[in-house]
Structure 1
């Protein structure tokens, strides 16, 4: 039996979508504004640009770790309290990032920032789901997701501009006024909604989280040689043992963190595994391409940021067409064909050099954004559409974890390949980027074999409402 939450005031109903939208904007802006600034940050900290991958991965892994606990924390301690803590931790983490003067301190600050970021969107979305009726929910959620598109649109350009007119510190400091306003508004208008919570699966959470982190760090250590081969292999093997232990534990646990029964739904199983492998390639692109434009082609930070805008515009255009394409073509043909096309398109970045006209480069990036967005929307909708009401929440949580984990692994793999292929001179940087794009493009194509397991009658043609 759940505790009824107090009736919401008119002011709370009015401002709740705005509060959730602000949290989503802070999260998506931070995810894109940083990538353009990485070369300048590396120079200021005396590090190689390739070592800066840890700044990106630390945030992604922290978010992946805490997503499974976000709903339980909101139910246990209340949406208002947890949301206030999320904004505060994200803002404090941003301040700590700006004050960091070494790479280890910056990585630690990104972990703190990730703790807040992991709670911002899930808790805000949960509050919206409970505050509004089904009749109003689509309208409200559509409004909330708009900032999620605006953040990536202005993030790269804003990051490049801030680096040139001020310093890289402002990439993080810009979060502070937004966070302060969001905290004050949430103090007054975020509703405090709690529910009676079942016992959280802390045992499963520790095993699953330990496995995920240790495997990621082990692979990263092997790729960039930040750890010795022996330590990297030890971490990797220990992580795999933790994941195997969780798998055996979840098979018999009464309320596991993620039930293995989820994988009895074939479309979910195919969608999750497909997401994992497909995002290894496409998830690396937001990290790799701003570096390519600056280190490989010699663009300034602001020019590199502006050049990334067509990628987001292409993604926004596709979201207006996806509801028409999937019912007409079907998931199997969309995902098999689009996965191969996306991998080939990533690999084709190996053909880009300084002789390519600028307008052609913009078009190239725009087409990539469109194809990439179609891939994400189709994969995510396929994964969740056939889950029962009992498993919908758990399945959505596992999908979110897999998405973050896959993107962090993609960044680590891309940085490792680039470190293997590239050297210090601009000519070798360009050659290294070309080989890296070729490899991750071929790697992204592997997911087509997974999506090929779909049969025509395995999917139901439904509208695609995925906001990612």
Structure 2
């Protein structure tokens, strides 16, 4: 439910933009604001789950999320909608990390590969089912029902929470208020600057100042967390090379991957003339690719090792963006479907590898801090993916003398090329990984292959 709401509005953006009286690309703020709120409030989730119990916090998150969903559906303007999305993001921030923490807290190392493969399903499926469902609802009913459907889903989630989840508490420390304020202010300011720059490129001074301020505050927060005796979340997991690789190179390629569910529906509708439903149906090929490769991901990791898969799969992801950049209105439907199908396979493979490798060498007693840091960075890159995608589209329209209010197909083609370059940059970090990276959780046959 939480991951679904991050992208379900993508195919409905042109219709929502018409109702709000703004360009479709400007509604990226409605997606990124949600993800910014999730990122800022994730650190509270781990502390709150230990302090008050996982079931209580998870239930509170569901209630807040559903209430905010109703406000989203009742919105009549962009600012009102963005405010409701922020509130929705606060509720969403306490869902996924708490659920994953419950799973990882008592999980033996030998079961991490299998467990993370299962946990990756929502992250793969929801962003791809979302555009299909969102486009159908927006075109056949009204876009507000995209959010109202969370009411029955939320009620069902509450029932299962009380039936299946124990209110287990953990060891907790004093809450780091300074770290929370610095992290929220830093990332919020950075994202505000990027969003402002994408919507108003003609006046870069204020956005540039906000971006610089955000980066500066984030640097101060990192300095604070390294010195504090009880930081908001520990950065200690970054000492482990495998975890650090998923946070650095992994973040770079996640930005490119996260831009796809935002950019592709817009490209299909604004650049190629597809309807919201048609765009959503075409995206099903992306989801089909996820489904087909998923049963083989564990075998591939064991057979070739994490390093080789990260390098060569990143090349395939970049190739997928290049292929999309070459599509035109004359591209046959079967060929477009094949490109999306292949891209879905590489997307699924990479996210599974990153999620698995990140916890390969983390000791059990440091899982909570690693989980919190991982969740923060993952949500941050999801938000950056939407914002960077919107910014790249704006840059493309400027370079090609197009219109930011009505981008043409050639603008999207250049944007896809930019995303391919971002994907390729992640390989720099992957190359420096040891050949035996993560072998502790691979089968023996896979370890030998990885060398």
What TM-score results when the alignment is normalised by the length of structure 1?
0.86
Rounded Cα–Cα distance in structure 1 between residues aligned with 2:63 and 2:31: 20
Say if 2:113 and 2:356, in contact at 8 Å, map to a contact too: no
Match of 2:166 among 182, 188, 191: 191
Once the two structures are superposed, residues 398-446 of structure 1 have per-residue CA deviations (whole angstroms, 9 ceiling, x without a partner) of 1221121112112112112212334459995101000100111112211
Partner of 2:275: 300
Partner of 1:399: 374
Question: What is the CA distance between 1:148 and its match in structure 2?
Answer: 5.7
Partner of 2:244: 269
Partner of 1:460: 439
CA separation of 1:448 and 1:168: change in aligned 2, threshold 3 A: same
Q: Which residues of structure 2 form unaligned runs of 5+?
A: 444-451
Partner of 2:262: 287
Rounded Cα–Cα distance in structure 1 between residues aligned with 2:255 and 2:35: 13
Matching of residue 436 in structure 1 with residue 415 in structure 2 = yes
Q: Classify the secondary structure of the residue corresponding to 2:329.
A: coil
Question: What is the CA distance between 1:129 and its match in structure 2?
Answer: 5.8
**Greater shift after overlay, 338-347 or 356-365?**
338-347
Rounded Cα–Cα distance in structure 1 between residues aligned with 2:267 and 2:222: 39
Once the two structures are superposed, residues 117-142 of structure 1 have per-residue CA deviations (whole angstroms, 9 ceiling, x without a partner) of 11122233444567999999999988
Question: What is the CA distance between 1:47 and its match in structure 2?
Answer: 0.8
Q: Classify the secondary structure of the residue corresponding to 1:355.
A: coil
Once the two structures are superposed, residues 32-57 of structure 1 have per-residue CA deviations (whole angstroms, 9 ceiling, x without a partner) of 32111111111111110110100110
Partner of 2:448: none
**Greater shift after overlay, 214-223 or 408-417?**
214-223
Say if 2:110 and 2:441, in contact at 8 Å, map to a contact too: no
Partner of 2:153: 178
CA separation of 1:126 and 1:38: change in aligned 2, threshold 3 A: same
Say if 2:113 and 2:441, in contact at 8 Å, map to a contact too: no
Matching of residue 58 in structure 1 with residue 33 in structure 2 = yes
Matching of residue 370 in structure 1 with residue 345 in structure 2 = yes
Say if 2:237 and 2:243, in contact at 8 Å, map to a contact too: yes
Partner of 2:3: 28
Rounded Cα–Cα distance in structure 2 between residues aligned with 1:145 and 1:374: 10
Say if 1:157 and 1:308, in contact at 8 Å, map to a contact too: yes
Question: What is the CA distance between 1:461 and its match in structure 2?
Answer: 6.2
CA separation of 1:332 and 1:198: change in aligned 2, threshold 3 A: same
Matching of residue 90 in structure 1 with residue 40 in structure 2 = no
Question: What is the CA distance between 1:189 and its match in structure 2?
Answer: 6.0
Partner of 1:450: 429
Partner of 2:395: 420
Question: What is the CA distance between 1:384 and its match in structure 2?
Answer: 2.0
What TM-score results when the alignment is normalised by the length of structure 2?
0.89
Match of 2:130 among 155, 158, 163: 155
Matching of residue 411 in structure 1 with residue 386 in structure 2 = yes
Question: What is the CA distance between 1:309 and its match in structure 2?
Answer: 0.9
Say if 2:286 and 2:342, in contact at 8 Å, map to a contact too: yes
CA separation of 1:266 and 1:363: change in aligned 2, threshold 3 A: same
Matching of residue 252 in structure 1 with residue 231 in structure 2 = no
Say if 2:25 and 2:405, in contact at 8 Å, map to a contact too: no
Say if 1:79 and 1:127, in contact at 8 Å, map to a contact too: yes
Matches within 5 A, 1:181-220: 181-184=156-159, 186=161, 190-220=165-195
Partner of 2:322: 347
Matching of residue 230 in structure 1 with residue 205 in structure 2 = yes
CA separation of 1:418 and 1:460: change in aligned 2, threshold 3 A: same
Rounded Cα–Cα distance in structure 1 between residues aligned with 2:58 and 2:228: 30
Once the two structures are superposed, residues 146-204 of structure 1 have per-residue CA deviations (whole angstroms, 9 ceiling, x without a partner) of 66665445422221111111111111111112223333554566533334522122222
